Structure 1
Amino acid sequence: MSEPLIFKNLSGKVAIVTGGSRGIGREVCLSLAKAGCNVVVAAKTIKDTPSLPGTIFTVAEEVKALGVDALPVQVDLRNVKDIEACVEKVVAHFGRIDILINNASALWWQDIADTPMNKYDLITGINSRGTFAMTKMCLPHMAKNGWGRIVNMSPPIRLDPGTLAGHTGYYISKYGMTLVALGAAAEYDGKGITANSLWPATVVESLASKNFKLGDEAMWRKASIIADATMAIISEEDTFTGHMLIDDTFLRYKGLEDKDFVKYRCDPNVEPPRVLDMEWSPEDSRGLFKRGDVKTLQKDMDSSTLEKTIKAKL
């Protein structure tokens, strides 16, 4: 029987979670709160709608119900003034910043020729530029107290053609997030501040996975696997820094066994395929999924033969 994960007591600490109003971000906010951490729910959504359920206010209330303080802050990561104002509000309210979870992200999985420049600007503006700006503004406050944890939700940097095909613009933006983590890790090594990136092996259940029809429950794990991996990273010593981590691989390193991953399945009877951490082969002539605009969703789904092959095997 494997040992249960043990997370660090974070009482008195303050965490900013971007994209915290739903999905993975919300799950991380709640996990932090359960460990005693005060949470800043930083996201754009302030009004609940049928297509976008959950707001910074609803998650903040959930966090407070767990016995800690929460601060909802509306932030558009494309706007540096919004980021500056967020950090100022956090410091004014809590007096410190200890943890930053760069989770907010925009998705665009299309070929270079099918990527309008306004879409490229959107994904890079939110993903790599927004992450860089938020990290830049939080680091001095972490350094002031000699302790900090940064986790960027972005993939390991891999340059094989199969990974990049059909996702070039997206991976430029996401690899930028990973580079921010690696750069912060190098610059603050030995100073009590760690920075790592974290990426799921499988599609994770979220509003995006549902709206973009990224398979079904048989292909998804619950967002709790990312939250548990995030908490485990935060709980590591100061020397654990500069890593590009995959969620289930890291949790196995922490002692989980195959049977422990059953609880993360959305379909309890099916182990989801590790489509986001696949080894590339010459047969993979293009990216696994094409997604980005719900108006062309059916066309995107029909264009990916590899996607159909994987679903057929489930």
Structure 2
Amino acid sequence: MSLMEQTDQTATLNGTDITMVDFGGADVRDYIALLKPRVMSLVVFTAFVGLAIAPGSLHPLESFIAILCIAIGGGASGALNMWYDADIDAVMTRTANRPVPAGRISREQALSFGLSLSVGSVLILGLLINWLAAGLLAFTIFFYAVVYTIWLKRSTPQNIVIGGAAGAFPPMIGWAAVTGSVTMESILLFLIIFMWTPPHFWALALIKSEDYRKAKVPMLPVVAGEAVTRAQILLYSVLLVPLGMAPAALGFAGITYAVLSAGLGALFLVAALRVYFIREGAPAKKAAGQMFGFSILYLFALYATLLAEHLIGLPMLSALI
């Protein structure tokens, strides 16, 4: 096919034909978009924090290779997600301009790209760093692409609760790259993101519930209603806050982290309470949008503080008690 040749592809969603046009003219930006760069940035950052604060050290080149492989593996997951979800992406306004539903990249190209990056990132991480980190990366890709995207997303309103584990593994992989082990500290780093994901994503789902309804994706607001979703956001927020403070209590974070995590946790609960109690019209959408935005700041601030304390060499809270 020449770059100017055009073919029509038709996907079927719940009995409705959706025409997607493949122009064959994808450029580098389209392949970068397949990697979900905004999601990848969070993957890279949390993996780097896990790697940086882990006991021990890697050669700077090894550290670069480890983070690069984790980033590529995360991007591969995004490409495989876009391959499988092209039909529902075409229905939702938030995703309709992604490269596959917009026709700039075919589903077959997205699948090949995702699989190639998956195999390459796992093999390089295993051969050059260690096989535990590589195994965790392989499991993360499998979990996101198969367990979440193919199975859970279209079958249960708990999709993001279980599927959120995929986004929580990067700091554990970074930790394992240095230590060759999984420890309580790395499990806690995992649990913070795992518990953070539902209130973060359900806040967005409250805003985009009509999109999910049109695409027949059983997100919690669509299946159980907004009232249940608001209650679940509050519940998971209550569970998240003590987890966010736990690194200081367990002795691998300092007083700065202890104070910041407590303050941000209180604000997180305030945001969740506003979502719970403000239920009508534009103010409800605004509260959900503010919750979504603040949740990103919350997670970034926690991990950035862990990193800063380690780099600056601040004393751990346990040494001050």
Indicate whether the TM-score tops 0.5: no
What TM-score does the superposition give when structure 2 sets the normalisation length? 0.29
More strand by share: 1
What TM-score does the superposition give when structure 1 sets the normalisation length? 0.29
- Structure 1 or 2, whichever has the larger Rg, is 2
More helix by share: 2
